[in-house]
Amino acid sequence: MSEQRFPYLKSTLVSFGYFTNNLTWSVFNIFVPLFLSDNLKAILGDVPYINTLIGLIMILDNIASILIQPYIGALSDRTWIPKLGRRMPFVIIGLPLAAFFFGLIGTFQSTMFVVLIGICGFNISMAFYKSPVMSLVPDLLPKEYRSQGAGVLNVVGGVASISGLLIVSSLMVNHSKFAFWALSIIMIICLGILLLTVREKKDVEIVKRDEKIGLGTTLKRIVKERNLPLIFMLLSVFFHTAGYSVAETFISRYSTDLLGFHSSTAGQILAAFIGFSVIAALPAGLVGKRIGALNAVIIGVVGFTVSLIPLTIISLLPDLSIMKDVLTLNTMQSPIFTWQFLFYFLLVFTMGFSYLLLSINSIVVIWNLAPDKETATYTSFFYVALHMAAILSPFIAGVIFDLYALNSSKNGSDFSGLRIMFVYVIACYLFTIGFISLVKIFRNRQLKEIEDKDTYIQQRLEQKEYPLQYIPMLLFGIGTRRRKVILDLRKEHHEEQKEMDEQIRKLRKKQMFVAEDLPDDAKVVDERHKKTIADHRQMKKEMVKEQKEKIREMRQDIIDEKIKKKLEEEYD
């Protein structure tokens, strides 16, 4: 049975809500610490604890997310307003408020009191609408397209981050107090696009519970229901984010203090990663769609961890020149295009693509574990785990790094604590592998509790809960290409193409007999021949496309049959 084409336009339009998130946060995280630093120095002087105060203020967004998003997510699942739906009422309130407070921060950047009001208002407003706006993707896209939808989200988010930085950076050259308002206006335009294009459907029953809405109540219910796949998935999200947030927080200091790079080089490394994520996000989403989100997460975390092993070993060597070459792909050496460049490129590419497989498909696993009527609630769980890691992990890592430096100093060495940054990161991802494995194990057990075999198989296929051994077949068609039915179909297609080529050849031969100096009526015949040839070529092009689609569908049918047989054996 033929699948519908993935709705790229619809996915992109739905992603404009996420666009507003990344558009502003990238700018917020770079410029707001500078505003705070200038204001605090003006008030307190150049005291040594300014960085601590800035750090405490900058984690307010994570605290707001943890406190607000679970409540709003659950409330959104219980809400239905005619002509607006479940999600858009929260977006209509939160997004304009976030745009207002964001503009306020930029306009009054030299007034500490107003900056603090703007920061608090912006953090609360963003937390108010983030879970609902992210839930539009699983709400409006079929389950089989959620990984691709998350890939589109990543592309849109990457473009938003780059756009926000470029726009504000160019306007801030002249110290414009209205630079932030430019992004606020774009946010309002995005809201208009959502209002014009998003039409929510009341296709699921609205959740009605007597229990109070809140983070504590929700977590108690998860534990009470013993939803172990969800619990382990949230733990994997926590450790995965814990590793990434530490790398993101300390990579600039690692690059400048240990590797001797200029601060601009560290920025270029981060920009290159964002650019790569924009390019590779759609393929990563497509892989998740083919093999299933959970399998994609497993491959991603294993691939990332394996790729990280050489970097971890290199980071512990006395000479860090190899690390400098890896992070810059050997482009600072001459000649550039050597075997080292190829090796470093493959290493970094594998690491980057594996990370995208993991990060893009993690939220899809959460969506797949969620009942249809509680998507926003489960989305908020994802962000609670993510923001908890973003708050705790950099602090814990900083303490560990300082203790390591202190211990090395006592032993007569002068090693920076940043030396073990990659050790910390890889430890987090080893925990992630463990918890992802438990998700797979307990998810299989959970599905096997379904009493009806047909329901069991249907649910496994719908949610792409495939056995791991079928991944090569799902990705590359291994084991299906030589099947007789496909070979016969290829042979039939080859004969059809030969017949079409023969018709085109005859038409071209006939056209050669029409001379240029013949009367006008003959020239009309010549034009007809040209048009007929062009039509036949177009027909051949469409025929080849249709033939490829038929073979793809047949291969998918073979794969589905093999998987069904395997699932039947497992069930029995």
Interatomic CA distance for residues 217 and 222, integer angstroms: 9
Q: What does the pLDDT average to over 44-63?
A: 75
Q: Which of 223-227, 303-307, 553-557 has maximum average pLDDT?
A: 303-307
Instruction: Report the alpha-carbon distance of residue 328 to residue 106 in Å, rounded.
Output: 34
Tell whether domain 232-471 is in CATH 1.20.1250.20.
yes
Q: Which of 441, 425, 23, 124 is nearest to 250 (CA)?
A: 425
The pLDDT of 145-160, averaged and rounded, is: 85
Predicted confidence at residue 219, as pLDDT, reads 67
- Predicted pLDDT at 117: 93
Q: Which residues contact 236 (CB under 8 A, 6 or more apart)?
A: 297, 301, 362, 431, 432, 435, 436, 439
Query: Which residue bears the tokens 């959460």?
Result: 366
Q: Examine the pLDDT at 212 and tell me if it is beyond 70.
A: no
Is cis: bond before 467, omega within 30 of 0? no
Q: How far apart (Å, rounded) are the C-alpha atoms in residues 299 and 195?
A: 38
DSSP assignment letter at 258: I
Cα–Cα–Cα angle for 292, 6, 353, rounded to 5 degrees? 50
DSSP designation for 5: P
User: According to the model, what pLDDT value does residue 299 have?
Assistant: 93
Give residue 232's pLDDT band: very low, low, confident or very high (50, 70, 90): very high
- The fraction of the chain above a pLDDT of 70, given in percent, is 85
Q: What is the residue extent of each domain of the chain?
A: 1-201, 232-471, 477-571
CATH match of 1-201 with 1.20.1250.20: yes
Report d(CA 321, CA 508) in Å as an integer.
64
Q: Are 180 and 168 a contacting pair, CB within 8 Å? A: yes
Q: What is the pLDDT of residues 411-462, one digit of tens each?
A: 766 677 778 889 999 999 999 999 999 998 888 887 777 777 778 777 777 7
- Mean pLDDT, the chain, rounded, equals 81
Domain 1-201 matches domain 232-471 at the CATH topology level: yes
Taking residues 326-337, report their average pLDDT: 67
The pTM (predicted TM-score) of the whole model is: 0.77
pLDDT tens column, 95-104: 999 999 999 9
Structure-block tokens of residue 567: 């699932």
Contact assessment for residue 135 and residue 151, using Cβ atoms and an 8 Å cutoff: no
pLDDT of residue 2: 46
Q: In Å, what is the CA distance from 536 to each residue of 501, 503, 508? A: 9, 8, 11
**Whether the predicted pLDDT of 329 surpasses 60:** yes
pLDDT tens-place string over residues 471-481? 887 777 777 76
Most confident of 10-19, 88-97, 260-269: 88-97
Higher pLDDT, 65 or 175: 65
DSSP 8-state secondary structure symbol assigned to residue 6: P
Side-chain half-sphere exposure of 70, counting CA atoms within 13 A: 22
Residue with tokens 């998130």: 21
